Amino acid sequence: MELEKLFCDVDDFCKDFEKKWQQELLSTSERKRQKTFNLCLSEVMTIIIYFHHSSYRNFKDYYTKHVCIFFQTYFPNLVSYNRFVELEKSALIPLCWYLHLRPRQSTGINFIDSTSLEICLNYRAKRNKVFKGLANWGKSSVGMFGEYGVCQQLVLGTLYYC
């Protein structure tokens, strides 16, 4: 995936999203300080998305060893890694919405996670009303669990975002 093409697509999305986001926010009487960022929202989102197309296993190595060295020409106002981590939280909702709207294809790879969840302490099991009928003593697909609880089975499919 080309970085310029990705950035243009994300930037177009961010321009529309920020207008709609400001319209939907509730107005308050107190003024909040609007900090200016060196990186715009679309640049933060592009770096995060491009990380998932890279071969790096953790984001810190990707940012410090790849982005700060090779992407200086694309992003001239790069910030330190610590500052970028602070900026990531501002990109969470727009990033989720962007990925939700993009066409996606399944890679065909699925991960299955089976976890037993303890509901309450054993001596309180008979008084539990919240999970009455759902939780029980017994066996999960991964073996016996000695506490009163439920077995959570989660199937995660991997999607490729175009």
Give the span between the Cα atoms of 12 and 33, in whole angstroms. 26
Binned at pLDDT 50, 70 and 90, residue 162 comes out as very low
Has residue 17 got a pLDDT over 90? yes
Q: Rounded mean pLDDT of the chain?
A: 81
Q: Where are the domains of the chain?
A: 3-25+36-102, 105-161
- pLDDT above 70 coverage of the chain, percent: 75
The answer to whether 123 touches 149, Cβ cutoff 8 Å, is no
Has residue 32 got a pLDDT over 60? yes
**pLDDT, position 149:** 73
Q: What is the pLDDT of residues 81-130, one digit of tens each?
A: 999 999 999 899 999 999 888 877 766 777 777 677 777 777 777 777 77
